[in-house]
């Protein structure tokens, strides 16, 4: 191909080849290890101190409450739906929201259908929902690590929700 489109496609091919090489090299290094084992060997170096000191909004009365759950960096804020009080153990969902912000009333508002990013469907299905915030956000301890230490925060949320007496720990 010639012209701008041809140059663009050659550039894309070069990027694809580099990515395949990178993934192959990483896979070769990680053979025989679980992802958890491989992560344990990595170190992150934080070069900027990013921290959000805004306190999370209180959820609307009734369905959710603002809680703290234990993590490696300290107590982290989360929204948690309440005990259905029916004597049964329920499945749970950890709503791992995107973006770099903390948690806010955004998760409880009415959103347009084409931008629905709330756990509303899980609520309506009767599941327990936990919406954790990450280190360095929502006035939590620690610093934002851009999806490295935050994985540990997610695992801490899973561990916490499995201890709730109204959650079936096999269905999280």
Q: Dump pLDDT digits (tens) for 92-108.
A: 999 988 776 678 888 88
For the stretch 104-121, pLDDT in tens is: 888 887 888 888 888 888
DSSP 106: G
Task: For the chain, list the strands marked E by DSSP.
Answer: 64-71, 74-81, 92-94, 128-132
* pLDDT of the residue at 75: 95
pTM above 0.85, yes or no: no
Average pLDDT of the segment spanning 46-70: 82
Contacts 24+ apart (CB under 8 A), 46-51: 46/143, 46/145, 49/143, 50/136, 50/143, 50/144, 51/136, 51/142, 51/143, 51/144
What is the average pLDDT value for the chain, to the nearest integer? 80
Distance CA 53, CA 44 (A): 22
| Pair 59, 79: CB distance under 8 Å | yes
- 41-44: list long-range contacts, CB under 8 Å, 24+ apart: 42/148, 44/145, 44/148, 44/149
- Please give the pLDDT value at position 3: 46
pLDDT category at 50 given cuts 50, 70, 90 is: low
Q: Helix or strand or coil: residue 7?
A: helix
Mean pLDDT of 70-85: 94
Mean pLDDT of 11-23: 43
- Give the pLDDT confidence score for residue 122 in this predicted structure: 92
User: 117, 91 in Cβ contact below 8 A?
Assistant: no
In the CATH scheme, what architecture does the domain 64-162 have? 3-Layer(aba) Sandwich (3.40)
pLDDT of residue 19 exceeding 80, the answer is no
């Amino acid at each position: 191909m010639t012209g701008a489109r041809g140059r663009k496609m050659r550039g894309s091919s070069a990027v694809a080849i580099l990515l395949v090489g990178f993934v192959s090299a990483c896979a070769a290094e990680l053979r025989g290890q679980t992802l958890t084992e491989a992560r344990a060997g990595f170190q992150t170096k934080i070069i900027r101190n990013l921290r959000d000191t805004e306190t999370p909004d209180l959820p609307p009365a009734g369905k959710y409450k603002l809680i703290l759950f234990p993590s490696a960096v300290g107590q982290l804020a989360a929204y948690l739906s309440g005990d259905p009080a029916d004597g049964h153990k329920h499945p749970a969902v950890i709503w791992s929201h995107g973006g770099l912000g903390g948690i806010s009333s955004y998760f409880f508002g009415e959103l347009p259908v084409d931008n629905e990013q709330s756990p509303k469907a899980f609520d309506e299905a009767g599941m327990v929902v936990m919406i954790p915030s990450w280190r360095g956000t929502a006035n939590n301890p620690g610093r934002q690590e851009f999806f490295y230490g935050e994985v540990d925060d997610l695992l801490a949320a899973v561990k916490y929700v499995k201890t709730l007496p109204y959650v079936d720990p096999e269905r999280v």
